[in-house]
């Protein structure tokens, strides 16, 4: 999903030849029908979740402790655990991903064997199913490194998962920095470090932020990778070594394992969808101002 390239330059306005034959009308009907189907399904899903979830949503729901396995009460501790897991994930993956992206796009050429190998392995990493990350996180972080079922293991597992996405968007942001800037920095005999922190990073910032926000969205939506790493415990966590239940796991548990949990599952799904819509809006804003900067750059 590439938020940055919003150039929907439709060829609609293009004048085509005669649209008489039957096959032409059938094709138009099928294409528009497919589009209508997809749009209807999306609206059905979103309205259904919000319609059934909003009546159960209140401030108390957001801060209360769940009771009776989540049938009653709220999602306070679950929101806290979710935020902690996301925090761990971002604190680890952001510097690592940014560093890797900087190395790949600024300090090595694309054709060296090492950069090609790194890219290959990142491509494969991006395709690894989330349940496989769950297995890996359980074997590596929980058992091999002895972290047990904890927010830390969950966050680290998610960090591995969002890394390829972060690197790719950061690279895209860095590629949009005009080469004149680098040449200018070199002409002023700036050290790489100063050029990086004072010129390249600031101008690539919006692109990097888009990546960060997309990574956040991917991490908050994740369930399968967290089941065997951060666990199910729905108390307020005392530390990062405590097990904590993420919002998505709460929805899964309420709808599958708790009879009569559907109302709270709807309300939690509403919260999750609302969070994701916010994240998406933020990403779009960044992408938008980045796009505007670029076009302003081009016109001067």
Partner 1 sequence: MSPYRTDRILIGTLRCAAVVSGLIVAVVALFLVSESVPALRQIGPYRFFTDSAWHPAPHSGESTFNLVPMIVGTLTVTAGALALATPLGLGSAMFLRFYAPPKLGVIYRKIIELLAGIPSVVFGFWGLVTIVPLINSIHAPGASLLAGICILAIMILPTVALVSDAAFEVVPKEYVKGAAALGLSRWATIRGVVIPSAKSGLFTAIILQTGRALGETMAVLMVCGNVVQVPKSVFEPVRTLTANIALEMAYALDPHRSALFVSGLLLLTLVAGLVLLADVLSRRYECSQ
Our CB check for partner 1 shows the closer of 13 and 300 to be 13
Supply the minimum distance, in Å, between the C-beta of residue 300 and partner 1: 26
Q: How many residues form the binding site for partner 1 (CB under 8 A)?
A: 104
The string over 247-272, giving b where at least 16 C-beta atoms fall within 10 Å of a residue's C-beta and e elsewhere, is bbbbbbbbeeebeebeebbbbbbbbb
Closest by Cα among 277, 224, 228, 215 to 251: 224
Q: Using the rule CB under 8 A, is 173 a contact of partner 1?
A: no
Binding string, residues 199-238; x marks residues near partner 1 by CB under 8 A: ------------------x--xxxxx--xx----------
* Structure-token pair, residue 257: 């394992």
Our CB check for partner 1 shows the closer of 239 and 290 to be 290
Q: Which of 64, 73, 80, 140 binds partner 1 (CB under 8 A)?
A: 140
Contact 268, 81 (CB under 8 A): no
Instruction: Tell me the window of 57-65, 68-76, 171-179, 270-278 that interacts with partner 1 (CB under 8 A).
Output: 270-278
Our CB check for partner 1 shows the closer of 18 and 239 to be 18
Q: Which of 75, 158, 163, 174 binds partner 1 (CB under 8 A)?
A: 163
Q: Using the rule CB under 8 A, is 111 a contact of partner 1?
A: no
Long-range contacts of 123-128 (CB under 8 A, 24+ apart): 123/164, 125/160, 125/163, 125/164, 126/164, 126/165, 126/168, 128/161
Q: Using the rule CB under 8 A, is 14 a contact of partner 1?
A: yes
Binding positions for partner 1, 22-51, rule CB under 8 A: 23-24, 27-28, 30-35, 37-39, 41-42, 44-46, 48-49
Q: What is the rounded end-to-end Cα distance, in angstroms, of the chain?
A: 30
Q: Is the torsion defined by CA of 258, 270, 134, 239 positive or negative?
A: negative
Q: Using the rule CB under 8 A, is 1 a contact of partner 1?
A: yes
Q: Which of 120, 183, 289, 292 binds partner 1 (CB under 8 A)?
A: 120
Length of the chain: 300
Our CB check for partner 1 shows the closer of 207 and 239 to be 207
* Structure-token pair, residue 37: 């189907």
3-state secondary structure 169-187: HHHHHHHCCCHHHHHHHHH
Our CB check for partner 1 shows the closer of 93 and 203 to be 93
Q: Which of 167, 208, 209, 216 binds partner 1 (CB under 8 A)?
A: 167
Binding positions for partner 1, 55-94, rule CB under 8 A: none
DSSP lists the bridge partners of residue 183 as none
Rounded CA gap, 196 and 106, in Å? 9
Q: Using the rule CB under 8 A, is 102 a contact of partner 1?
A: yes
Our CB check for partner 1 shows the closer of 16 and 300 to be 16
Q: Which of 90, 208, 251, 267 binds partner 1 (CB under 8 A)?
A: 251
Our CB check for partner 1 shows the closer of 17 and 300 to be 17
Contact 199, 174 (CB under 8 A): no
Contact partners, residue 1, CB within 8 Å, separation at least 6: 214
């Amino acid at each position: 999903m590439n938020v940055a390239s919003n150039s929907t330059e439709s060829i609609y306005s293009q004048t085509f030849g005669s649209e008489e034959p039957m096959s032409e009308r059938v094709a138009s009907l099928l294409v528009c029908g497919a589009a209508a189907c997809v749009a209807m399904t999306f609206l059905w899903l979103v309205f259904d979740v919000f319609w059934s979830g909003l009546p159960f949503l209140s401030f108390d729901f957001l801060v209360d402790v769940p009771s009776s396995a989540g049938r009653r009460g709220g999602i306070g501790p679950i929101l806290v655990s979710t935020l902690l897991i996301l925090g761990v994930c971002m604190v680890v993956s952001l510097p690592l991903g940014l560093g890797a992206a900087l190395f790949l796009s600024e300090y090595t050429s694309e054709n060296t064997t090492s950069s090609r190998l790194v890219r290959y392995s990142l491509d494969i990493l991006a395709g690894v199913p989330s349940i496989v990350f769950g297995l890996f996180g359980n074997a590596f972080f929980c058992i091999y490194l002895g972290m047990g079922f904890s927010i830390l293991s969950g966050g680290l597992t998610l960090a591995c998962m969002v890394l390829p996405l972060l690197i790719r968007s950061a690279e895209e942001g860095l590629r949009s920095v005009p080469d004149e800037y680098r040449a200018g920095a070199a002409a002023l005999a700036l050290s790489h470090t100063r050029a990086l922190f004072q010129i390249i990073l600031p101008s690539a910032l919006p692109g990097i932020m888009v990546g960060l926000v997309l990574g956040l969205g991917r991490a908050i939506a994740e369930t399968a990778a967290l089941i065997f790493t951060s666990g199910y415990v729905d108390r307020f966590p005392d530390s990062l070594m405590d097990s904590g239940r993420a919002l998505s796991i709460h929805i899964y548990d309420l709808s599958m394992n708790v009879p009569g949990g559907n109302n709270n599952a709807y309300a939690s799904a509403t919260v999750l969808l609302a969070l994701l819509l916010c994240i998406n809006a933020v990403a779009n804003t960044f992408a938008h101002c980045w796009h505007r900067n670029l076009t302003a750059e081009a016109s001067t």
